[in-house]
Amino acid sequence: MNRSSDTYLTAVDESSTLSGVSWGAIFAGAAGAAALSLILVLLGFGLGFSAVSPWAGSGISAKGLGISTIVWLTFTQIVASGMGGYIAGRLRVKWSNMHGDEVYFRDTAHGFLAWAVATLVTATLVVGSVSSIVSGGAQAGASVASGAASAMTQAAGSAASNSGGEEYGYFVDSLFRDDRPAAVSDDAVRGSVTRIFVRTLSNDGQLAAEDRTYLAQLVAQRTNLTQADAERRVDEVFAKARKAVDDAKLAAKQAADTARKVAAWTSLWMFVALLCGAFFASFAATFGGRRRDAVVYLETEAYVTSTSLPLTR
């Protein structure tokens, strides 16, 4: 067998036993992609903060900020992933005596693996920030819902604690209700009224007849109103309180729905951006691989000149 056949068989044997993955090139491309992603994200944060203004009517709108954020994230994925894929394709080993389709597939796989490693590293670094943003948006609705009744609840709890009634202050107050005018302090009256309002609004929202009559008596005792006028005032004030609670609940539902939509659209556009990053990383790796295979190795010959010549006599 001649020397060319031996060389061919040796190359085929090495191609079948050695792994086709150049992990060094993959990690190098992933490191470059992750670093460039971090730089571009920080630049995007800087541009975003400079465009946002706390003053009404100035700065970029919320919709414009959302669109620009999506565009910038997509641009970041394309540029960073493309560079990482090119590095992975350019630095991988040269596969000799292999079909072009196999080389193309391996280059594509190298670009995809570099993108995957960079994405995992980036996700590990920013998962805390992303989770805090999402949880903050989800908790916004709950905070709005509880904010409307928190003041009355705290006041009722404080008044109940002062009277020793705790969470059963409403029932304790009902034990000492009296139709006769009594010299009761304003703080005690306010606590009793607050507990009635809180219990009624937290249940069905309908003021009981005995509670309405008792509240009207308290109002009439401290004003110049008649019993009928006091009952009308009680109805008006309670209707305003119930409307405030209903508006707070509606605002909470709207805030929760807005947070849900924002989270859904953010997830979908992040999926699109990551998909673009995977595609451009794989494509750039094939381009870098072709450039790698096109490298021409220069062979140099070393000439040794002897300085010692034989002496003849």
What was the pLDDT predicted at 54?
A: 66
Indicate whether 112 and 156 sit together in one domain: no
CA distance linking residue 68 with residue 51, whole number of Å: 11
Indicate whether 217 and 76 sit together in one domain: no
| Residue at 272 is within a domain | yes
Q: Are 108 and 26 spatial neighbours (Cβ–Cβ below 8 Å)?
A: no
| Residue at 300 is within a domain | no
Last residue of a domain, one of 197, 223, 249: 249
What was the pLDDT predicted at 66?
A: 80
> What are the two backbone dihedrals, phi and then psi, of residue 299, each rounded to the nearest 5 degrees?
-105, 130
Indicate whether 29 and 177 sit together in one domain: no
Indicate whether 27 and 116 sit together in one domain: yes
| Residue at 8 is within a domain | no
What was the pLDDT predicted at 279?
A: 94
Residue with tokens 């590095």: 87
Q: Whole domain around residue 279: which residue ranges?
A: 23-134+265-293
Indicate whether 219 and 76 sit together in one domain: no
| In the predicted structure, residue 106 carries a pLDDT above the cut 70 | yes
Q: Which range has the top average pLDDT, 121-125, 137-141, 147-151, 169-173?
A: 121-125
Indicate the pLDDT class of residue 156, thresholds 50, 70 and 90: very low
Indicate whether 128 and 162 sit together in one domain: no
Average pLDDT over residues 234-262: 87
Total domain count, the chain: 2
Indicate whether 58 and 90 sit together in one domain: yes
CA distance linking residue 267 with residue 271, whole number of Å: 6
> What are the two backbone dihedrals, phi and then psi, of residue 274, each rounded to the nearest 5 degrees?
-65, -35
Indicate whether 123 and 213 sit together in one domain: no
Indicate the pLDDT class of residue 88, thresholds 50, 70 and 90: very high
| Number of helical (H) and strand (E) elements in the chain, helices listed first | 8, 0
Average pLDDT over residues 272-285: 92
| In the predicted structure, residue 294 carries a pLDDT above the cut 60 | yes
CA distance linking residue 85 with residue 280, whole number of Å: 8
Indicate whether 30 and 58 sit together in one domain: yes
Per-residue pLDDT reduced to its tens digit, 174-217: 655 666 555 566 777 777 788 888 888 777 778 888 888 888 88
Number of residues that make up the chain: 313
Report the C-alpha dihedral over residues 170, 171, 176, 178, rounded to 10 degrees: 70
Q: CA separation (Å) from 97 to 12, 65, 94, 102? A: 7, 52, 10, 11
CA distance linking residue 33 with residue 114, whole number of Å: 8
CA distance linking residue 144 with residue 252, whole number of Å: 5
Average pLDDT, the chain: 75
256-279 CB burial, b ≥16 within 10 A, e <16: beebeeeeeebeebeeebbebbbb
Indicate whether 281 and 226 sit together in one domain: no
Q: Nearest CA to 123 among 131, 135, 114?
A: 131
Long-range contacts of 122-126 (CB under 8 A, 24+ apart): 122/34, 122/37, 122/38, 125/38, 126/41
Indicate whether 36 and 117 sit together in one domain: yes
Last residue of a domain, one of 218, 249, 280: 249
Cα 287 → chain centroid:
34
| Residue at 274 is within a domain | yes
Indicate whether 44 and 117 sit together in one domain: yes
Structure letter (DSSP) for residue 57? T
| Residue at 97 is within a domain | yes
Q: Are 80 and 277 spatial neighbours (Cβ–Cβ below 8 Å)?
A: yes
| In the predicted structure, residue 293 carries a pLDDT above the cut 90 | no
Q: Nearest CA to 65 among 115, 291, 73, 153?
A: 73
CA distance linking residue 123 with residue 137, whole number of Å: 20
Average pLDDT over residues 84-113: 88
CA distance linking residue 49 with residue 42, whole number of Å: 11
pTM, entire model? 0.60
